[in-house]
Amino acid sequence: MTEPAAGHPTSRRGFLKLGAAGTAAALSRPLPVGAAGKTITILHESSFIKPFDEYVVNTLGPAYEKETGIKINYEVTSVGSLPTRISTIAETGSGADITENGLLQVTQFGDKYLDVSDIAEDIGKAQGGWYDAGREAALVEGKWKAIPFSNIGQLMNWRTDWFAEVGVKKFPETWEELYEVGKKLKAKDHPFGFELGHGFGDNHGWLYPLLWSYGGAEVAPDGKIVVIDSDETARAVDFSRKFFKDTMLDDVLGWTDVSNNKAWMAEQISCTNNAESILWFAKREFPEIGKVTGQAMNPAGPKGRFHLLDSISHSIFSFSPVREEARLFMRWLMEPKQLGGWYAIAESYYQPLLHGYDNAPMWSVEPRNLPYRDALANAHLPGWPAPANRQLAESVAKYVVVDMFAKACAGASTKEVIKNAEAQLKGIYRAA
């Protein structure tokens, strides 16, 4: 829990600060009366990129305080605990004023968040427009309940040296081509490793795109009719089975999110699907592996190429006592000067959802990350084309799609696994 705002104007300390800051704050836009001296608390999950968090604490926060007299309290919560923290705040109605969201929280907590449509539209107009993925991540029933910050995409990671050994210099364009390469590499004791267990990111990261690229989907765009039982899904499942059997390690069925990173650094696998952290970590800790780690967009299927949108965004709690101040802060934070600096410090780990950054210098730091930018064009939330809602959250929590593929890979028939998934989805969507 956060401390109650130390600089509340009614407290003595707050009052003194208010007086001191009063002259310094040459405000570029009108702040509510008595805003100076208040504190805005932002909840953020601890970043994989350490300087990213430090940038708020050491640069952005102090700069804003100098400008307005409002103190920024940047509260970091451990990786994985963000949803639980947001629930606690939403349940108790107290805690942080602004929170970071992972991909499903915007819809889950949408009615606890302020409508920030005006801010989001203004930012979009000023900075080249939002990617569609940005809208998908933040709009709840037509209203912006969050201001998109970035995607933390998932791409194909491939060992360029081992692929070269079987004559492949450029990452395969389609799943079928990748499969052929994988067969050769497995024969050379360089199998693939794609998570099929109960992690969170790296299983959904390739399985949803695989399903979509064959034309399959869980639910129709109306968010009501279950459409998983289709020939398209069946083809995706059939592909996954042979892809698993002929290219991968058996162990992937039990993998969680850390497993492929470990296997990568142990030089056990030649291809996987992961976020940028794998290259980042390899470059820092295993430079030799870093040199031969390539990144590429997901292969295409018969119906196109897709990626998983793993967006993060910021929302303001509607019950926050400083919500008006928080609105102004979000406007300030999303100005190119602040936002650009914050993106740049993390190189391209956080991929902006604004077109204004498509050619920003951050992209030239590591050209291997460019596919992350290009992947934004066809990135979607889990459950797409249906809207992300509580039924979808339940499907994800029950690993319906992941286990459909995993069971097929473990030997069950395509028909059986699709029937199971359909029954589960019908249960989930009927219960609503």
Partner 1 sequence: MTITSERLPVLVRAARRRAPLRVLLDRQSVFSWLMMALPLAFLAAFVGYPFFYGILLSLQDRPIGHSGTFVGLKNFVTDLHDAIFWQVAINTFVYTGVATLLKMVGGLGLALAMNQHFRMKNLVRALLLLPFIVPTVLSTVAWLWMLDPAFSVVNRLLVALGWPKPGPSWLGDPMLAMASIIIINTWRGLPFYGITLLAGLQTVPPELYDAAAIDGAGGWQRFRFITLPLLRPIILIVTLFSVIFTFADFQLVYVLTHGGPQNATHLFATYAFDIAMGAGQLGLGASVALAMLPTLALLIVALTIYMRRD
- Interface contacts to partner 1, rule CB under 8 A: 83-84, 87, 90-91, 108-109, 111-112, 196-199, 249-256, 259, 262-263, 266, 268, 390, 393-394, 396-399, 403, 406-407, 410, 420, 423-424, 427, 431
Hey, what's the torsion of the CAs at 52, 58, 64, 68, to 10 degrees?
160
Name which of 212 and 255 has its Cβ closer to partner 1.
255
Q: How far apart are CB 409 and partner 1 at their closest, in Å?
A: 9
Q: How far apart are CB 236 and partner 1 at their closest, in Å?
A: 17
Residue 237 is encoded by which pair of tokens?
């499942």
Name which of 117 and 256 has its Cβ closer to partner 1.
256
The position carrying tokens 């990350």 is 369
Q: How far apart are CB 130 and partner 1 at their closest, in Å?
A: 26
- Secondary structure class of 115 (helix, strand, coil): coil
The position carrying tokens 């030799």 is 288
The position carrying tokens 């459950």 is 383
Name which of 87 and 230 has its Cβ closer to partner 1.
87
Name which of 270 and 424 has its Cβ closer to partner 1.
424
List, in order, residues 6 or more apart from 95 with CB less than 8 Å away: 1, 2, 41, 43, 85, 88, 89, 317
Q: Which of 247, 229, 130 is nearest to 182 (CA)?
A: 247
Q: How far apart are CB 424 and partner 1 at their closest, in Å?
A: 7
Name which of 59 and 256 has its Cβ closer to partner 1.
256
Q: How far apart are CB 399 and partner 1 at their closest, in Å?
A: 7
List, in order, residues 6 or more apart from 287 with CB less than 8 Å away: none
Q: How far apart are CB 5 and partner 1 at their closest, in Å?
A: 22
Q: Considering just the CA atoms, what is the radius of gyration of the chain in Å?
A: 23
Name which of 20 and 266 has its Cβ closer to partner 1.
266
Q: Which residues pair with 316 in a beta bridge?
A: 98
Tally of helices (H runs) and strands (E runs) in the chain: 21, 13
Taking a C-beta distance cutoff of 8 angstroms, is the pair 297, 370 a contact? no
Name which of 154 and 261 has its Cβ closer to partner 1.
261
Q: How far apart are CB 266 and partner 1 at their closest, in Å?
A: 4
CA distance 231 to 343: 42
